[in-house]
Every structure is written in C-alpha cells, then in structure tokens.
C-alpha cells in the first residue's frame, strides 16, 4: 500500500497546493467547505418534493424510495475505489468530472419518467456524489484536525452530511411549494457550475502522488455483481409490502436470484487474487460487532422514514413544505450529538460503551415521546423535541461507530473496504429492510385494529337516523392509524431499551472483561462426573 503524503513541516502551517498562488490561504479551505455542501445537496430524486413529483408523474412512494436506495447503493459501492482514484487522477479531473456527472444526471431526472433509466442515473449520481465529497473533505482534513485525529474528523464530517440531508429535503420542498419540483434540479445544476468554476479559475491540476497509481487489476466484475445484488434486495424490501411479499411470483423469483448471486459473489471474492472487498476484514477485531450494532441502530432509526411519513401525510395532512420545516428540528439535535461525540472521544477519551448506550437511549426517548405524544388533537410543535432526540441519536451512533471501525482497521486501503461494508448496512440495507418491516407491521396492526374495533359498530350501539357515517369513518380510520403507529413505536421502545441497558451493562468492567466461559456439554459432563468421583 502506498502511504499518504506526510503533513507539511512544522511552521509552514496548513497548505492547499491545488489553489493558485493569488488565492488567499485563509479562505482556501472555506471555498472547499462551500463546494462540499454543493456536492452534498445534490441527489437523484428529492423526497422533500414527494407530493409534487407524485402529482406530475405516475410514481408511487415505493418508486421514489427505490430511486433513493439506488443512489445510496452507488455511494456505498464506490468506497473501495476512492483510495485508488485519488492517487490516479488530479483534483481537477475528479471534481470537474463529478460535478459534470451530477449535473447531467439531474437534467435527466428532471425530464424522464423511465424507471430503468432513472435507476441507472441515480446509481451513477451516487458514485459521483461520494467521489466529490471525498475529494473535498480529504483535502481539508488536516485543516480540520492537523494530527489527522478521526475522533475529530468523523463528527465534523457528520455535521456536513446530516446538515445536507435535512437541508436538501427542506430546500426541495421549498422549491416545490413556491415554484416546481424541477427547480431543485435546476438549482443543483447551478451549484455544479460553481464547483466547476472554482476548479477552472481558482485551482490548478494537483495529484498527491508523483507516480500515479494504476487502476489495473481492480475486480470490477465483483463490484458490478454486488451492485446488482444491492438493487435486487432493495427492490424486494421496498416493494415487499405493496406486492404482498412471497404471495407475488416476481418477488419469489428475485429472492432466488439474490441467493444465487450471493453464492456467486462469495465464490468470486474467495478465488480472485485482488478481490473488490477483502473478506479478511471480517476477522479483524470488533468489525462484526460494529456491523451488528449499526444494523440494529439503522433499523430502529428507520421508523423515521415510515411512521413519521404516515403521521404527517395520513393523520395530520401536512404539506411537504410544512413537514420538512418541522423536520429541520433534527439539526439542533445533530449538533448536540456531534458536541457530545467530540467531548467524549477527543477531550475525555472515554470508552465507547457508555456513549453507544447514550445513543440508543436517545432513540428510546424519541420513541417514548412519539408514543405518548401521539393524539388526534396534538399540536405539531410538540413533535419538535422527539425529532431533536432522533437527531442526537443519529449523530452520536453514526460518528461513534465509524470511529470505532477506524480503530479496528489500521490499514488505510482496507479501511475504505471496511467503509464500503459499513455503509452497506449503515445507509442502505438496514434502512431498506427497516422500511419493508415497518410497513408490514403497520399494515398488520392497522388491519387487526380495524377488525377488532369495528366489531363494536352494531345497530344496538348506534342510531342510524342521527349518525354521520362519512364523518365517523374518517375519524375512525385516522384513529386506527394513530393506534397502529403507536404499536410500532412500542416495539421500537422495547428494542432500543434493551440495547441501552445492554451497553450500560457492558460498560461495567466486571461484565466487560470477565465473561464466564461455558464449556461444551461433553466436557461439562466429564468435569461433573470427575467432581462426583472426588467427593465420593
């Protein structure tokens, strides 16, 4: 593995050699901060303008979610390539290429309703988005933390990522409310022109490696197969409840195809000399526990995409602009969570067990507040506090788990492979699976509640002559939706409470270090008989 270039000598300060000499050094990193926000505000299809897109196209919410997960799949699959691309091309080539690809993809998504084409476009846009983000952030990393301390870098990185996620959703809703949903794509094209202009007029070609790293020998075949598998799994999860899961023949076929593809990919990764992902990563310390924890955390936070959407659209009948304005209260929580991360990991340098417990504790508080706040007459301002708690939980868990992964994988090139696996679970599979599971649970609870409570509607209990049936049914269905949402949040409360207690217990030294090793049954039987003989 080629080492990273050393930091500048003491006394020279932070330098960005890709900028032209006349650009003031003090504003150079801030220019890249603006550009990385431009890149991060981009996307394939913006769910913040959900109603406007549905109103002008034939897309269902499942279609738009499928495009979202295609975008996330493109971001996740590209992580193993970031290391090589940075040492193969100049900053101008990478950033101008990323900006042009994002702009072209947004122009296509504005005018096309062909689902297969949009899937490919959103997938490619995700790859360009992560390339542009990495190139910008890697060049200002030493400005953020001169010692390359990831206990500082990852929390700061999540300020950018989570601010852009919430900000782009609100901006898309704002454009949809005042203009049309296509204006968000026009805005993105404009910001990409700004990124290109910065590279053309303020920067010059620069590559940190004098001897360029070759792209030969990369296992592109495995990467393509993994991408296909990710898209198939997301299709199964997103459309599962809509298509009645295994009652649908196409989904049964896709499940078989995904199992076959998984076998082919595993066989290929074990046989290829330079695999796309080195499976030895799973043998490293704490990697599997980290993946397990991030899967549970992302699954619990997945109720944001389903339950809150159901509440806002079906119960409270909120417009997209009002809904996204409410969701902006996530950002204060994000910044509080980042501050907790920095204090815990950088200043106090405590172990992460209790920090993870605090993260899951905020999920528990979020679910409990939602559970006890839900009511037909509730004021939507009362949801600000639980939404803030959700932001705290997400920023704590995401930054902490990413830092833990870095501590577990010391090799830089393997770390990017680890990030690929981490983000498959973090921002892709667990979220898609959570959507499918939550929608199924909600549907089952809703149907069961309607049947049970509907049995009380008999002629002995109502007077047909003084009974407003349409008004009653509207309120009855909304009440049943409210009850079903509470039942789902009840499950989230139990799981998040269990995880919180588990990590608090693991923080106790006696529990964390002195696990009792229980032998297998034959050994236990032999020892038991030996003790009996000695006593006799």
261 and 355 share one domain: no
Q: Residue 43, CB half-sphere, CA atoms under 13 Å: how many?
A: 25
Total structural domains within the chain: 3
Q: What is the mean pLDDT of residues 450-478?
A: 64
CA dist 252 and 495 (Å) reads 29
Q: What is the DSSP letter of 203?
A: B
Q: Which helix (H) or strand (E) holds 85?
A: helix 79-86
* The two three-digit tokens of residue 460, written as one number: 């002995």
- Give ∠ CA 501-294-308 in degrees, rounded to 5: 85
38 and 93 share one domain: yes
* The two three-digit tokens of residue 472, written as one number: 């009653």
- Give ∠ CA 231-435-110 in degrees, rounded to 5: 60
152 and 205 share one domain: yes
Q: Which pLDDT score is estimated for 535?
A: 62
Q: Check whether 470 has a pLDDT greater than 50.
A: yes
Helices (H) and strands (E) in the chain, counts: 23, 0
User: What's the pLDDT tens digit per position in 411-420?
Assistant: 776 777 888 8
Give the range of the structural domain holding residue 249, as residue numbers without chain letter.
Answer: 220-275
171 and 253 share one domain: no
Q: Check whether 459 has a pLDDT greater than 70.
A: no
Who contacts 321 (Cβ-Cβ below 8 Å, separation ≥6)?
173, 174, 176, 177
Who contacts 298 (Cβ-Cβ below 8 Å, separation ≥6)?
425, 426, 427, 430, 431, 434
CA dist 506 and 467 (Å) reads 58
For residue 10, is it within any domain?
A: no
Which of 108-112, 330-334, 468-472, 473-477 is least confident?
468-472
Q: What is the DSSP letter of 508?
A: S
Q: Which pLDDT score is estimated for 1?
A: 36
Residue 505 CB neighbour total at 10 angstroms: 13
81 and 159 share one domain: yes
For residue 460, is it within any domain?
A: no
Beta carbons of 199 and 95 less than 8 angstroms apart: yes
For residue 232, is it within any domain?
A: yes
For residue 381, is it within any domain?
A: yes
| Nearest one of 2, 439, 387, 498 to 162, comparing CA atoms | 387
Which of 24-28, 115-119, 335-339, 503-507 is least confident?
503-507
For residue 488, is it within any domain?
A: yes
For residue 530, is it within any domain?
A: yes
**Unique residue bearing structure tokens 């001169």:** 146
Q: Check whether 13 has a pLDDT greater than 70.
A: no
320 and 424 share one domain: yes
For residue 11, is it within any domain?
A: no
Beta carbons of 359 and 298 less than 8 angstroms apart: no
267 and 298 share one domain: no
User: What's the pLDDT tens digit per position in 364-389?
Assistant: 999 998 888 877 677 888 888 989 99
Q: Check whether 9 has a pLDDT greater than 60.
A: no
Last residue of a domain, one of 161, 184, 211: 211
Q: Which pLDDT score is estimated for 99?
A: 92
User: What's the pLDDT tens digit per position in 86-140?
Assistant: 888 888 889 999 999 999 999 998 888 888 898 999 999 989 999 999 888 888 8
Beta carbons of 337 and 394 less than 8 angstroms apart: yes
245 and 161 share one domain: no
- We report the CATH number of the domain holding residue 23 as 1.20.1250.20
178 and 244 share one domain: no
353 and 450 share one domain: yes
Q: For residue 260, give the 3-state DSSP assignment.
A: helix
203 and 327 share one domain: no
45 and 129 share one domain: yes
Who contacts 486 (Cβ-Cβ below 8 Å, separation ≥6)?
371, 374
For residue 2, is it within any domain?
A: no
Burial 411-425 (b: 16+ CB within 10 A, else e): eeebbbbbbbbbbbb
User: What's the pLDDT tens digit per position in 203-247?
Assistant: 888 877 666 677 777 788 888 888 888 888 888 888 887 888 888
């Amino acid at each position: 593995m080629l080492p990273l270039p050393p930091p500048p000598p003491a006394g020279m300060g932070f330098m960005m050699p890709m900028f032209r000499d006349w650009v003031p050094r003090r504003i150079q990193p801030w220019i890249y901060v603006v550009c990385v926000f431009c890149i991060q505000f981009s996307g394939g299809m913006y769910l913040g303008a959900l109603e406007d897109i549905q109103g002008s196209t034939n897309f269902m919410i499942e279609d738009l979610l499928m495009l979202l997960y295609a975008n996330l799949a493109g971001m996740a699959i590209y992580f193993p390539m970031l290391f090589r691309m940075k040492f193969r091309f100049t900053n101008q080539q990478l950033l101008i290429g990323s900006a042009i690809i994002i702009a072209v993809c947004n122009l296509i998504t504005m005018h096309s309703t062909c689902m297969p084409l949009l899937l490919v476009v959103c997938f490619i846009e995700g790859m360009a988005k992560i390339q542009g983000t990495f190139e910008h952030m890697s060049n200002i990393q030493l400005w953020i933390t001169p010692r390359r301390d990831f206990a500082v870098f990852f929390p700061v990185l999540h300020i950018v990522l989570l601010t852009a996620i919430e900000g782009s959703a609100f901006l898309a809703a704002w454009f949809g409310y005042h203009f049309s949903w296509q204006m968000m794509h026009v805005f993105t094209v404009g910001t990409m022109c700004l990124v290109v202009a910065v590279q053309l007029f303020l920067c010059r070609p620069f590559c940190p490696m004098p001897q360029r790293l070759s792209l030969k020998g990369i296992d592109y075949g495995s990467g393509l197969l993994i991408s296909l598998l990710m898209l198939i799994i997301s299709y199964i999860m997103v459309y599962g409840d809509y298509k009645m899961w295994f009652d649908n023949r196409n989904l049964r076929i896709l499940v078989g195809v995904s199992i076959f593809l998984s076998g082919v990919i595993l066989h290929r990764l074990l046989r290829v000399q330079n695999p796309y992902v080195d499976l030895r990563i799973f043998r490293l310390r704490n990697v599997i526990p980290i993946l397990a924890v991030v899967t549970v955390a992302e699954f619990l936070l997945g109720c944001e995409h389903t339950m809150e959407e159901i509440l806002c659209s079906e119960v409270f009948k909120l417009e997209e602009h009002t809904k996204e304005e409410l969701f902006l209260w996530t950002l204060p929580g994000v910044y509080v969570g980042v501050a907790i991360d920095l204090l815990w990991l950088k200043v106090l340098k405590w172990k992460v067990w209790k920090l993870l417990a605090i993260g899951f504790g905020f999920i528990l508080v979020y679910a409990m507040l939602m559970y006890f706040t839900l009511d037909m007459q509730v004021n939507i301002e009362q949801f600000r506090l639980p939404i803030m708690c959700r932001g705290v939980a997400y920023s704590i868990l995401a930054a902490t788990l990413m830092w833990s992964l870095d501590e577990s994988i010391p090799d830089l090139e393997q770390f990017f492979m680890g990030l690929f696996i981490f983000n498959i679970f973090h921002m892709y599979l667990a979220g898609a699976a959570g959507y499918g599971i939550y929608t199924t649970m909600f549907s089952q609870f809703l149907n069961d509640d309607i049947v049970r409570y509907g049995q009380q509607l008999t002629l002995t209990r109502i007077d047909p002559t003084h009974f407003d049936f349409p008004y009653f049914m509207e309120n009855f269905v909304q009440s049943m939706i409210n009850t079903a949402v509470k039942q789902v949040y009840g499950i989230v409360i139990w799981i998040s409470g269990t995880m919180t207690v588990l990590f608090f217990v693991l923080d106790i030294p006696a529990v964390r270090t002195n696990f009792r090793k229980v032998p297998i049954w034959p050994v236990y039987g032999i020892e038991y008989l030996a003790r009996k003989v000695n006593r006799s």
